[in-house]
Amino acid sequence: MKTIYTYLALVALIATLYACKKELSALPKNAKVDANTILDQGTAQIALNGAYYRFANATAIKTGWQNHQIKPPMFAGYIGMYSSVLPEEENRNDRATNSYWDESYMLLNAVNGVLKGVNSLSDTQFTGNRKKEIMAEARFLRAYAHFKLLTFYGEWYKPESQLGALLRDEISTLSYIPKKRSTVKESYDFILADLDNVIANGPAASPTHYATKWAGMALKMRVLMSRGSGTDYGTIVTLANTLIQESPYKLEPIAEDVFHKKGLSSQEVILGIKPQANQEKETYSTSAQYWPGASSLYVARAPLKSLYANDPRQAWIIGSARPKAGYFFFTKYMKENGVSSALSETYYVLRLTEVYLLKAEAIVRSGGSLADAKAVVHEIQAKAGITTASNNTSYLAVENAGTSAALVMEIFKETVKSLIAEDGMEWMAMLRLPFDTVKQLKPTIANQSQYILPVPKDEFLYNPIFGDQNPGYAKN
């Protein structure tokens, strides 16, 4: 379990990667993030690339985002490990991995180094708006990390709670380690302030493995949907309309093509993570964990297969049955009998499909027109081959949902089917349902304390003013 001390050591280690020849798809020419090395626009860009390197959880040989794919749907009951049952599958959170905590604080230290170094430079050392853009990209990464921490280690679903994220807005030096966790309200406010800066100052166009102002809008939609108070739902609809009408992104005509043909070149990918060169050849690549099975074999479980009943997507997402009852190959990224490739090693952070589904959910939750929300969902279903002409049961279930509660449930199902194993949206959508419904969907969830993970115990050892442990868990 890594502590802040470990993070500092890792930052030093990151700096040693300067001469690494295997790049994060031309992202970091190195992974140096020390603010003192930022001397001009060129070195600022190098430092920003280093922050993206941490965002991708990369090493010299591969990116490491598979926990973003598999852990949330494990919590939700849709993905599992074939050889054994992991704690995440049974919501035994006291034994669950702390990977999100470790990743996020390494990223935050890198990002805060970029912000400190760039902010200290004169505007005249940058061309055009590049200084503001670099800082906006860094703030996107900071918002992403803090939101991940809030939603997995804070009571994000209780706006009045004192148990928010431990916000880090400076490099964690030895004198800066002690800090109290923020409230949930303070956490949301800080994250949203960063995202508003991204929307105002982020680049309008960049390769899909870099953040843009559009990515800031999409992430803000996620954040507001989790907060779900006041005018949040109306703002979500407004942001969605802007993205749909004004951004360069369009829904892929055939949903499968995103994953099996186009990858980050798809016109609907807002932000993704490009693999390292040749990482598909690694023995323990992401692809090999889905087929044929390297150190692990992650598979679809029966509840996911059932959800795709009479759905055309089942043919390319759910593979053949395994000898162990209730387990099936998961083929969204890696086909059975396929060959690992850069495409099967690609990760997706934000896609336009999510924007549509969040818009539909926001319309319903704000008391808007059910017919309008249904039309939005049908647009997503059409890309999967589900239309009124097909007389498909999924289409009819949406169309026949006569109450807000019924339609929210259908939107949840569509969210799972569209966004399974990407970046946790199936899990977050489940937790937005009424608690009694959550317990029915995942019987191993007995109380809301299982919505989140315990703060790692080392945090209380090295940060004595942190505050309380999350409910249901011990400090030591």
The sign of the torsion formed by the CA atoms of 129, 134, 137, 143 equals: negative
Task: Please give the order of strands across the beta sheet that includes 79-81.
Answer: 79-81, 298-301, 327-330, 318-321
Residue 18, pLDDT > 70, answer no
Q: Residue 26 — pLDDT band, cuts 50, 70, 90? A: very low
Single-letter code of the amino acid located at 130: R
**Residues 147-198: pLDDT tens digits?**
999 999 999 999 999 999 999 999 887 666 899 999 999 999 999 999 999 9
In 161-319, which residue ranges form alpha helices assigned H by DSSP?
Answer: 184-201, 213-227, 232-246, 256-257, 286-290, 302-307, 314-317
What is the C-alpha separation between 222 and 419, in angstroms, rounded? 13
pLDDT of amino acid 476: 78
Determine if residue 297 is left, alpha or beta; phi over 0 gives left, psi from -120 to 50 gives alpha, anything else beta: beta
Please, which residues have CB within 8 angstroms of residue 334's CB and are 6 or more apart in sequence? 286, 287, 288, 290, 291, 340, 344
Pick the closest to residue 82 from 326, 286, 304 (CA basis).
326
Polymer length in residues for the chain: 476
Q: Which phi and psi angles does 283 have, rounded to 5°?
A: -60, -40
Structure confidence at residue 175 (pLDDT): 66
Give the count of alpha carbons within 13 A of 228, CB side only.
19
What was the pLDDT predicted at 34?
A: 65
The pLDDT of residue 10 is: 38
CA nearest to 347, candidates 67, 31, 17, 81 = 67
Q: Output the pTM of the full model.
A: 0.93
**Separation of alpha carbons 284 and 56, rounded Å:** 17
Question: Per-residue pLDDT tens for 423-449?
Answer: 999 999 999 999 999 999 999 999 999
Predicted confidence (pLDDT) per residue in 385-423, tens digit? 998 877 689 999 999 999 999 999 999 999 999 999 999
Q: How confident is the model at residue 5 (pLDDT cuts 50, 70, 90)?
A: very low
What one-character DSSP code corresponds to residue 249? Answer: -
**Residue 33, pLDDT score:** 61
Q: What percent of the chain has pLDDT over 70?
A: 91
- Residue 81 — φ and ψ, nearest 5°? -95, 135
Q: What's the whole-number mean pLDDT along residues 259-277?
A: 97
| 103: Cβ contacts below 8 Å, ≥ 6 apart | 54, 57, 67, 145, 148
User: What pLDDT does 37 receive?
Assistant: 84
Among 7-21, 295-309, 348-362, 461-475, the range scoring the smallest mean pLDDT is 7-21
CA angle (300 as vertex; 446, 441 as ends), nearest 5? 25
Choose between 29 and 402: higher pLDDT: 402
- Tell me what the pLDDT averaged over the chain comes to: 92
- Around Cβ 165, how many Cβ atoms within 10 Å? 26
Residue with the bigger pLDDT between 272 and 60: it is 272
- Identity at 334, one-letter amino acid code: M
CB 46 within 8 A of CB 301: no
At 173 the pLDDT is: 73
Write the pLDDT tens digit of every residue in 46-105.
999 999 999 999 998 999 999 999 999 999 999 999 999 999 999 999 999 899 999 999
Mean pLDDT in residue range 267-296: 95
Q: How confident is the model at residue 4 (pLDDT cuts 50, 70, 90)?
A: very low
Side-chain half-sphere exposure of 394, counting CA atoms within 13 A: 28
pLDDT of the residue at 46: 96
Q: For residue 256, how many other CB atoms are within 10 A of its CB?
A: 18
Nearest to 84 by CA among 393, 353, 374, 295: 295
pLDDT over 70 (residue 3): no
